Amino acid sequence: ILNVEQSPQSLHVQEGDSTNFTCSFPSSNFYALHWYRWETAKSPEALFVMTLNGDEKKKGRISATLNTKEGYSYLYIKGSQPEDSATYLCACLTGNQFYFGTGTSLTVIP
Amino acid sequence: DAGVIQSPRHEVTEMGQEVTLRCKPISGHNSLFWYRQTMMRGLELLIYFNNNVPIDDSGMPEDRFSAKMPNASFSTLKIQPSEPRDSAVYFCASSWGEAFFGQGTRLTVV
């Protein structure tokens, strides 16, 4: 079982603040890192798939970076809005195995 | 492919009754995950299978919960007996390089 860790487990930010959180994974046999946005009672939305060390992806106010050598990915949200409130889940693909992190629950306070 | 199919979409049952949730993964996928999502507890990974074999069931809350994957095209999550605190949205996901999620089953135990 691969240990994919996310931190913090939860956070509350004020509307307009920028925030970021981390996904850590073992760097051996790494193939890809996925980020999902999961609102309550809805199916998760795929945000990014990153494979190369140094990859940076952006989607609107959300961006992500990848460091495969040290085994981490950061997700950034610029100017948080209440609609950004959700659980952000990362998942690591190694070989043909898919391992999910525990998620970061974000609450944006109006 | 129709994606990951979960049934039923909604289930209302009385406390003490047995509940069976069903999931049909995407053909060819080798991993299957069961998640539970509630407002109080957030997102919980209950169990995941790889090649039909349960790999990690540490998230299964109690002995009342059991999951099976008799073949590569079908999995069940059973709760017997059900309790009101089991009320949640239960999601199934399958993966082969990328994870895809079903629409969820909203379970209400009254």
Complete DSSP assignment for A5-70: EEE-SEEEEETT--EEEEEE---TTEEEEEEEEE-TTS--EEEEEE-STT-EEEETTEEEEEETTT
Residue in the block written with tokens 């995407």: B26
Contacts of residue A87 in chain B, CB cutoff 8 Å? 42-43
Question: How far is A74 from chain B, CA to nearest CA, in Å?
Answer: 19
Query: Which of B26, B34, B43, B49 is the best residue to mutate to test the A interface, defined by the most A CB atoms within 10 Å of its own CB?
Result: B43
Query: Which of A4, A35, A43, A87 is the best residue to mutate to test the B interface, defined by the most B CB atoms within 10 Å of its own CB?
Result: A43
Instruction: Flag whether residue A95 sits within 8 Å of chain B, measured between CB atoms.
Output: no
Q: Which of B8-17, B45-54, B70-79 has the lowest mean pLDDT?
A: B45-54
Higher pLDDT, A104 or B55: A104
Cβ contact (<8 Å) for A96 and B106? no
State the average pLDDT for chain B: 92
Predicted pLDDT at A98: 76
Q: Please state, in angstroms and as integers, the Cα–Cα distance from residue A16 to each residue in A65, A85, A108, B22, following that order.
A: 21, 13, 9, 41
Residue in the block written with tokens 């956070």: A11
Maximum pairwise Cα distance, chain A: 42
Considering only alpha carbons, which residue of chain B is nearest residue A100? Answer: B45
DSSP string over B29-84: --EEEEEEEETTTEEEEEEEEETTEEEE-TT--STTEEEEEEETTEEEEEESS--G
Each residue's pLDDT tens digit, A8-46 = 999 999 999 999 999 999 888 888 899 999 988 888 888
